[in-house]
Amino acid sequence: MTLPTTIRRVLPQLVALFVILALNTAIAPGFLDIAFANGRFYGSLIDILNRGAPVALLAVGMTLVIATKGIDLSVGAVMAIAGAVAAALITSDHSLAATILATLGVGIVCGLWNGALVAFLGIQPIIATLILMVAGRGIAQLITEGVILTFNDPGLVFVGTGAVFGIPFPVILWVAIGIAASVLFRTTALGLLVEAIGINRRASSLAGIGTSALLLAVYAASGLCAAVAGIVAAGDIRGADANNAGLWLELDAILAVVVGGNSLMGGRFSIAGSLIGAMIIQSVNTGILLAGFPPEFNLVIKAAIIVVILVVQSPASQTLFAFMKSRPRSEEDAAAPVREPEKEAAR
Amino acid sequence: MRAEDGSLAPAAGRFVSGRVMIGSEMLLRAEGISKQFLGVTALSNVDFDLAAGEVHALVGENGAGKSTLIKILTGAYRRDGGRIVLAGKPIDPSDVMDAQELGIGTVYQEVNLLPNLTVAENLFLGREPKRFGLTNRSEANRRSREILGQYGLDIDVTSLLATYSVAVRQIVAIARAVDLSGKVLILDEPTASLDAAEVSRLFSILDGLKQRGLGIVFITHFFDQVYRIADRVTILRNGHKVATRPIEGLKRIELVSLMLGRELQEQEAHVAEPVDRSQKPVVASFKALSKNGQIAPFDLEMRAGEVVGVAGLLGSGRTETAELMFGIHQPDHGTIEVDGKPVTFASPRDAIAHGFGFCPEDRKLDGIVEDLSVRENIVLALQARRGWAKPLPRKEQEAIADRYIEALDIRTSDREKPIKFLSGGNQQKVILARWLATDPRLLILDEPTRGIDVGAHAEIIRLIGELRQRGMSLLVISSELEEIVAYATRVRVLADRRHTGELPAGEISADAIMRAIASAEDETSGGGAGEGRAAEILREGTA
Amino acid sequence: MKNLKTLAGAVALSALMAGSAAAADMTVGFSQIGSESGWRAAETTLTKQQAEQRGIDLKFADAQQKQENQIKAIRSFIAQGVDAILLAPVVATGWDQVLEEAKDAEIPVVLLDRQVDSSDDLYLTAVGSDLEHEGEVAGDWLVKEVGDKDCNVVELQGTTGSSPAIKRKAGFEKAISGHDNVKIVRSQTGDFTRTKGKEVMESFLKAENGGQDICALYAHNDDMAVGAIQAIKEAGLKPGSDILVVSIDAVPDIFLAMENGEANATVELTPNMAGPAFDALEAYKSDGTEPPKFIQTESKLYTQSDNPKAIYEEKKNQGY
């Protein structure tokens, strides 16, 4: 057990990811092949990284929201809005920079709306974000006038389908945003303050933490991530599909956070864990597609695999593992100086 | 709540009639109980017995093994060694339900009922009376009223449990446990969140149960209560049984030294020396501060190097005063001045920016951030004040944490241990450390010694004195009058959401404070009930 | 914009109700489901166009996806004494009573593109396409196109369990049965969306030797085909020649792809349901000709040789 803490934290997720990838390799012989063609790497592994981008992006923001004991159901709808805004602006001859800035701004505004409902009006996050989840798709449809708004702007298409040094641009985006968010929250005190709010908002407020401002900030961050995901999804198909863009992805994002070992009860969080969670989900999706089972089995297989992962991660199983591990180590523990013999009894 | 309390008869004192002779036939006998957690000994070869019709107190500092012992008796933990005999038969409860069926019921400090169900539903949860295979609500309600009637409780059993006070919930929990189990009742710190009148009511209920032949195990931190209700007492220390003694003839100082394993300094003798206030600079002054329905207008001038004790009954406006001073609630009227300049506090953040600190009364709800480590809990307020962009370097955090763990003697195996695993007293010291780390000029402590063990209690009182001598300004709210006498340089007396008077340094004694409260209560509530409550406090304070 | 149209429709309707009905040969009420898809928007546009061309006074009511709104609209049409009613029913059940009211008032009702679970003497006729036939047309085209060559087909199904997915699959399989050189090697759902169409096509390409082993793609709708075409291009293959692409619906964007040589054929689910409906109504009104109970619209096949650019321009303005 000499691994650094950060790696040890996501070890169960890495193991799960490895097992799924191994299963995929067994099912699809060429699964691990990576070729270089048309200026980009090409292969199923790359597909997983690339197709998982929207959920990974959403999961970054969702992790932060969930760390505050909240939840953001609106991210799928915000993706649709962002895609619609981007497509509408670029097709009415705005510059790429203006389009992207405005779209990201819209995402932040959506997040601030959610955050204000939660922080100032005290509405439960699940209800507060449900409002935009329901209304958001309608707003997106109003913007696109009910059609798939197609565009051919090379810049916007690049966001969804381009590649830098052979790596698909969406992959670079989610990795970069994931690292940036981790660095921002771990090198500053934001991580600690967000965790404190998630564990005990009242006590945090009494300790002088600006809880309302921080809640606004994390929901805005979630909206921003959703807007980036929305641009990626629209760029990918060169069009804004208000009816389908991001549909049900809020649930995949929440699942990614949970599979990543984060608790819905808030508190301790790991963005890396959530990103690995997103990759686990996408590996399952891609594996199912490669396996060639009839589509009626898709959801059943996915659910079964997720259940196994969650059961392995559950507190009950963790206790069991800890118990099994503790057996040979108990002497070593007993030898360590313990000032408080009755840990378990303290309330 | 208040009307209900007011109608209660004063406590009946000691129940001599209930005493039983301890014979050879014990209701419950535990022999040689041992328990280890991951190689750490929590209980070592502990014997314990309980007679029918007896109240047996179980005392010890936090971490002594009290909770482990009762969790083994109730099947929540499996013992590693020893045997348990109930009414002559060896038992081996596999879980709490099993223990209940065998006849051992438990009521915890945080009442283990479901607040969003009705009282009747709680009483009959899992064993609802049936008619035609469906729950028979009216039957359940009727029987609930009948059962609670035996405890002198006449409430609407169809209301949600959440609508009742902790005291009522506790009685419901006891009623359920007795109805379910009927032989042994285990009470884990039942009085921690009750006021004096509620405690008396609880004790008269326990007396009734004693008469009915139940054996009662009673865990508490309060010596007064041990002397009032218990027949015998068993003292645990560091997982070992120190002694079991009949209460009669046991001297208080003897009990304390058995618990601590050392002689406790006589803290009562330590009355704070008078301070010449006029020599000290004013830190903050609060003028005509008020909030409708919370607290009537009050003036308060806080100077460096003084400890203002705040005394009054529960609900007299003590906490409300602190909340206005710290910006938790905003006053309707009045002004706050810090260093002579007017300020407004929109939130605690603003108060902290001016060097204020506040240890709340409800440690668990408002104080600790349970999953964070001791280190993180200690640096939290300091970090919040610096802002998110200026993180304290990890090394500095560790240094701060280590300094306070050492200085306040916080008992933790590791500064990275989540605070939730610490005992109540140590959690309280961590919250104190959190504020000391911000180097506050004005520190407000709301019931800083509630529910913590004797050792930590004495240390916190000593610390308050030290902080004052270092020039800090402190406002300390407490229900324990001796405690106030030990540290206060003046005492504010509150009654009925009003600041009714102040005792200057020379006049502070437990007696004087009680008289002040009693007369204030009489004035404000017009006699009767107030007198009863004041008398109650009197008894509590001087027992 | 859509809402403005609806509003305009509602205003027009109320104006008519106020008694200022313009003189026309025939007044027809049209209860539309709503505007949940581009195809439905086109259906509304074409219905209005057809009515205008024929001098029919059309009263339009948008039901916003609610049956109760449709029932209200029909009752209001009856009260106004229209000559006929067009109904695109949002659900299949619950129409008996209001249809009987129309029958009692001797107003013929024509169902558009969806069926109802009511006795067929309660309505004059139903106009719609045959989903299975559409699949068959697509299959027939592919069989003819490849001739005797072996052809491995990958199939992008619609939403699992939906009736278009089931029927379009069955029709296609019927068309290729008996042609052993054409076989479906992979079939997976793309949920009728571009995104899923693209993602699933990517996995097909990986699973079938980088797409070298795929001869043709059959997609249950054009949107999935548009997504898949992008996946094929990104894999370095040429859609339309390396992999043949045939799909169903004939939405404008697929004509752009055909113009660029990236798609080969599409089968039209015509949004012009009103044309045949008006034909039947006019015949019925003039000499009492009873139409058949189901009028099947043409499932027209479009290929690259049908001047896709021109069709795109035409369809673009139909509200897709």
Q: How many Å apart are CA C273 and CA C271, to the nearest integer?
A: 6
Judge if B112 and B122 occupy the same domain.
no
The secondary structure of B353-385 as a DSSP string is HTTEEEE-S-IIIII--TTSBHHHHHHHHHHHH
Q: Among A22-36, A321-335, B79-93, which is the least confidently predicted range?
A: A321-335
Does residue B358 belong to any structural domain of this protein? no
Judge if C231 and C196 occupy the same domain.
yes
What rounded mean pLDDT belongs to chain A? 90
What tens digit of pLDDT does each residue of C266-280 get? 999 999 999 999 999
The secondary structure of C166-219 as a DSSP string is HHHHHHHHHHHTT-TTEEEEEEEE-TT-HHHHHHHHHHHHHHTGGGTT--EEEE
Question: Residue C41: closest CA among chain A residues belongs to which residue?
Answer: A146
Does residue A233 belong to any structural domain of this protein? yes
Judge if B72 and B146 occupy the same domain.
no
Question: Residue A137: closest CA among chain C residues belongs to which residue?
Answer: C36
pLDDT the model gives residue C92: 86
Judge if C51 and C85 occupy the same domain.
yes
Does residue A245 belong to any structural domain of this protein? yes
CB contact under 8 A, A237 and C235: no
Chains B and C touch (3+ CB pairs under 8 A): no
Query: Mapping DSSP to helix (H, G, I), strand (E, B) and coil, where does residue B105 land?
Result: strand
CB contact under 8 A, A146 and C36: yes
ipTM value of the model? 0.86
Confidence of residue A65 (pLDDT cuts 50, 70, 90): very high
Does residue A101 belong to any structural domain of this protein? yes
Of A188, A205, A345, the CB nearest to B42: A345
How do B232-237 and B240-246 pair as beta strands? antiparallel
A-contacting residues in C 243-282 (Cβ below 8 Å): 253
Judge if C135 and C261 occupy the same domain.
yes
Q: How many Å apart are CA A56 and CA A275, to the nearest integer?
A: 5
Task: Give the highest mean pLDDT range of B104-108, B298-302, B407-411.
Answer: B298-302
Judge if B92 and B193 occupy the same domain.
yes
Judge if C151 and C256 occupy the same domain.
yes
Does residue C45 belong to any structural domain of this protein? yes
Residue A339 has pLDDT above 80, yes or no: no
Judge if B181 and B137 occupy the same domain.
no
pLDDT the model gives residue B9: 36
CA angle A223, A224, A226 (to 5 degrees): 65
pLDDT the model gives residue C64: 81
Is the CB of residue A61 less than 8 Å from the CB of residue A72?
yes
Q: How many Å apart are CA C139 and CA C212, to the nearest integer?
A: 21
Does residue B320 belong to any structural domain of this protein? no
CATH number for position B216: 3.40.50.300
Judge if C101 and C139 occupy the same domain.
no
Judge if B134 and B200 occupy the same domain.
no
Q: How many Å apart are CA A260 and CA A269, to the nearest integer?
A: 9
> Is C207's Cβ below 8 Å from some Cβ in A?
yes
Q: Classify residue A159 as exposed, middle or buried by CB count within 10 Å of its CB (0-12, 13-18, 19+).
A: buried
CA angle B433, B436, B441 (to 5 degrees): 155
- A289 CB neighbours in chain C (<8 A) are 188, 199-200, 203-204, 207
Does residue A186 belong to any structural domain of this protein? yes
pLDDT the model gives residue B314: 66
pLDDT the model gives residue B110: 65
Alpha carbon of B375: minimum distance to chain A alpha carbons (Å): 11
Residue A2 has pLDDT above 60, yes or no: no
Q: How many Å apart are CA A52 and CA C58, to the nearest integer?
A: 49
Distance of CA B474 to the CA centre of its chain: 21
Does residue B224 belong to any structural domain of this protein? yes
Q: How many Å apart are CA B48 and CA B69, to the nearest integer?
A: 9
- A238 CB neighbours in chain C (<8 A) are 230
Q: Which residues have C-beta within 8 Å of that of residue C308, sequence separation ≥ 6? A: C255, C256, C258, C259, C302
Task: Give the highest mean pLDDT range of A335-339, B75-79, B93-97, C176-180.
Answer: C176-180
Mean pLDDT calculated for residue range A132-141:
93
Question: Residue B387: closest CA among chain A residues belongs to which residue?
Answer: A189
pLDDT the model gives residue B3: 38
Kindly state the helix (H) or strand (E) to which residue A281 belongs, with its residue range: helix A271-291
Q: How many Å apart are CA B240 and CA B47, to the nearest integer?
A: 9
Judge if B250 and B139 occupy the same domain.
no
- A209 CB neighbours in chain B (<8 A) are 349, 380, 384
pLDDT the model gives residue A59: 98
* Percent of chain B residues topping a pLDDT of 70: 85
Q: State how far the alpha carbon of A172 is from the alpha carbons of A79, A181, A240, in Å.
A: 19, 14, 22
Of A187, A336, A342, the CB nearest to B239: A342
Q: State how far the alpha carbon of C171 is from the alpha carbons of B333, C137, C177, in Å.
A: 80, 8, 10
Q: How many Å apart are CA C55 and CA C287, to the nearest integer?
A: 19
Q: How many Å apart are CA B329 and CA B319, to the nearest integer?
A: 11
Alpha carbon of A19: minimum distance to chain C alpha carbons (Å): 20
How do C301-303 and C265-268 pair as beta strands? antiparallel
CATH number for position C241: 3.40.50.2300
- C2 CB neighbours in chain A (<8 A) are 141-142, 145-146
Confidence of residue B269 (pLDDT cuts 50, 70, 90): very low
Q: How many Å apart are CA B196 and CA B453, to the nearest integer?
A: 19
Does residue A110 belong to any structural domain of this protein? yes
CB contact under 8 A, C226 and A38: no
Judge if B109 and B172 occupy the same domain.
yes
* Percent of chain A residues topping a pLDDT of 90: 75
Judge if C142 and C228 occupy the same domain.
yes
- A292 CB neighbours in chain C (<8 A) are 186, 188, 207
Q: How many Å apart are CA A215 and CA A217, to the nearest integer?
A: 5
Q: How many Å apart are CA B186 and CA B72, to the nearest integer?
A: 12
The secondary structure of A156-208 as a DSSP string is HHHHHH-EETBEEHHHHHHHHHHHHHHHHHHHSSHHHHHHHHHH-HHHHHHTT
Token digits for C46? 């074409």
CB contact under 8 A, B40 and A338: yes
CA angle A233, C267, C135 (to 5 degrees): 95
Q: How many Å apart are CA C122 and CA C28, to the nearest integer?
A: 17
pLDDT the model gives residue A124: 95
CB contact under 8 A, C206 and A51: no
| 3-state SS, one letter per residue, for C7-18 | HHHHHHHHHHHC
Residue C11 has pLDDT above 80, yes or no: no
Of A187, A203, A208, the CB nearest to B369: A203
**Domain encompassing residue C15:** 2-129+270-289
Last residue of a domain, one of B390, B423, B439: B439
pLDDT the model gives residue B274: 58
Question: Residue C228: closest CA among chain A residues belongs to which residue?
Answer: A237
- Identify which has the larger pLDDT, B238 or B373: B373
**Domain encompassing residue A81:** 27-292
Strand partners, B342: B337
Q: How many Å apart are CA B474 and CA B280, to the nearest integer?
A: 13
Q: How many Å apart are CA B405 and CA B374, to the nearest integer?
A: 9
Q: How many Å apart are CA B100 and CA A249, to the nearest integer?
A: 47
Q: How many Å apart are CA B325 and CA B40, to the nearest integer?
A: 45
Query: Mapping DSSP to helix (H, G, I), strand (E, B) and coil, where does residue B182 land?
Result: coil
**Domain encompassing residue B240:** 2-9+25-116+160-264
Of A30, A150, A247, the CB nearest to C206: A30
* Percent of chain B residues topping a pLDDT of 90: 40
Judge if C261 and C276 occupy the same domain.
no
Residue A24 has pLDDT above 80, yes or no: yes
Q: How many Å apart are CA C42 and CA C104, to the nearest integer?
A: 32
What tens digit of pLDDT does each residue of B58-109 get? 988 766 788 889 889 988 888 998 999 998 899 998 888 888 888 998 887 6
Does residue C36 belong to any structural domain of this protein? yes
Q: State how far the alpha carbon of B217 is from the alpha carbons of A188, B60, B93, B232, B235, in Å.
A: 50, 14, 17, 10, 13
pLDDT the model gives residue B40: 67
Q: How many Å apart are CA B511 and CA B191, to the nearest integer?
A: 24
Does residue A340 belong to any structural domain of this protein? no
**Subunits that touch chain C (at least 3 Cβ pairs < 8 angstroms)?**
A
Judge if C264 and C135 occupy the same domain.
yes
- Identify which has the larger pLDDT, B310 or C12: B310
CB contact under 8 A, A208 and B68: no
Of A44, A146, A161, the CB nearest to C38: A146
What total of structural domains would you count in chain C?
Answer: 2
Q: Which residues have C-beta within 8 Å of that of residue A203, sequence separation ≥ 6? A: A196, B360, B365, B366, B367, B368, B369
Chain A residues interacting with chain C (CB cutoff of 8 angstroms): 28, 30-31, 35, 37-38, 40, 42-44, 47, 51, 141-142, 145-148, 150, 161, 233, 236-239, 241, 243-245, 247, 285-286, 289-290, 292, 294-296, 298
Residue matched to tokens 């003694």: B245
Judge if C27 and C113 occupy the same domain.
yes
Alpha carbon of B423: minimum distance to chain A alpha carbons (Å): 5
Judge if C97 and C175 occupy the same domain.
no
* Percent of chain C residues topping a pLDDT of 90: 76
**Subunits that touch chain B (at least 3 Cβ pairs < 8 angstroms)?**
A
Nearest Cα residue to B142 out of B133, B131, B132: B131
Alpha carbon of A336: minimum distance to chain B alpha carbons (Å): 10
Judge if B211 and B140 occupy the same domain.
no
Judge if C141 and C265 occupy the same domain.
yes
- A44 CB neighbours in chain C (<8 A) are 203, 206
Judge if B137 and B185 occupy the same domain.
no
CATH number for position A77: 1.10.3470
Residue B395 has pLDDT above 60, yes or no: yes
Does residue C295 belong to any structural domain of this protein? no
Residue B10 has pLDDT above 50, yes or no: no
Judge if B128 and B250 occupy the same domain.
no
* Count of residues in chain A: 347
What total of structural domains would you count in chain B?
Answer: 3
Residue B527 has pLDDT above 70, yes or no: no
What tens digit of pLDDT does each residue of C197-212 get? 999 999 999 999 889 9
- B356 CB neighbours in chain A (<8 A) are none
- A190 CB neighbours in chain B (<8 A) are 388
Mean pLDDT calculated for residue range C174-178:
95
Judge if C54 and C141 occupy the same domain.
no
Mean pLDDT calculated for residue range C286-306:
92
Chains A and C touch (3+ CB pairs under 8 A): yes
Q: Among A2-6, A32-36, A229-233, B16-20, which is the least confidently predicted range?
A: B16-20
Residue B504 has pLDDT above 50, yes or no: yes
Alpha carbon of B473: minimum distance to chain A alpha carbons (Å): 19
Judge if B48 and B191 occupy the same domain.
yes
* Percent of chain A residues topping a pLDDT of 70: 93
Taking CB atoms and an 8 Å cut-off, how many pairs form between chains A and B? 147
Say what angle helices B374-386 and B424-436 make with each other, to 10 degrees. 30
Does residue C85 belong to any structural domain of this protein? yes
Mean pLDDT calculated for residue range C225-233:
95
Does residue C244 belong to any structural domain of this protein? yes
Question: Residue C195: closest CA among chain A residues belongs to which residue?
Answer: A237
Does residue B422 belong to any structural domain of this protein? yes
Does residue C223 belong to any structural domain of this protein? yes
Q: Which residues have C-beta within 8 Å of that of residue B526, sequence separation ≥ 6? A: none
Confidence of residue A326 (pLDDT cuts 50, 70, 90): low
Q: Which residues have C-beta within 8 Å of that of residue C16, sequence separation ≥ 6? A: C57, C59, C80
Question: Residue A195: closest CA among chain B residues belongs to which residue?
Answer: B372
Residue matched to tokens 């619209």: C297
- C227 CB neighbours in chain A (<8 A) are 237
Confidence of residue B273 (pLDDT cuts 50, 70, 90): low
